[in-house]
Amino acid sequence: MIYDKDYREITRHNRLFEKGKKSTHWMDFIDVIVARPRALKYSGFYSLLPDNWKSYTNEMDSEDLKQSLKFLKMCLLEKDMAFAEKVLAENIRKSVKETAALWTTYYRLTEDVSVYHQNHSPPALPRLPDYDISAESYNSLMGRMRDDR
């Protein structure tokens, strides 16, 4: 942690305790890679991707690759790489290749399904008083119109 002169935390980061090692936080670089998506293969981030993500990104055009990387960044921020791998594996299992389907699968896997499984009946509707339907006022208007002719 890094503090200011009043001992308030400015930032926090993981440290490597081996000499000569460096740590890169790839989340910050995904936006740079999105600007030039074909550079993904030449980045260090590509080597960290699971095999299914590597093969998935190899088959895409630039625009789909941009959208997939944006999804991957959000998934890494909200969950982790294992969950991103699970989402893609689910889509591959269902033979779905569209990038928009990544979002659909993500939300489907993260939604609270207990809401749908509760066995509660809706509250009873209040009993309303009976209402007599009468068309006599309408008929009287129609009769007056006939008499006017």
Digit-coded pLDDT (tens) for 43-84: 888 888 899 999 999 989 999 999 999 999 999 889 888 999
- Tracing tokens 């991957």 back to the chain, one arrives at 72
Digit-coded pLDDT (tens) for 99-113: 999 999 999 999 977
Domain range summary for the chain, segments of one domain joined by + = 25-110
Q: How confident is the model at residue 27 (pLDDT cuts 50, 70, 90)?
A: confident
- Tracing tokens 């939604």 back to the chain, one arrives at 111
Helix, strand, coil share (%) of the chain residues, nearest 5? 55, 5, 40
* Positions of E strands within the chain: 2-3, 9-11
Enter the pTM of the model: 0.61
Structure tokens at 90: 């689910």
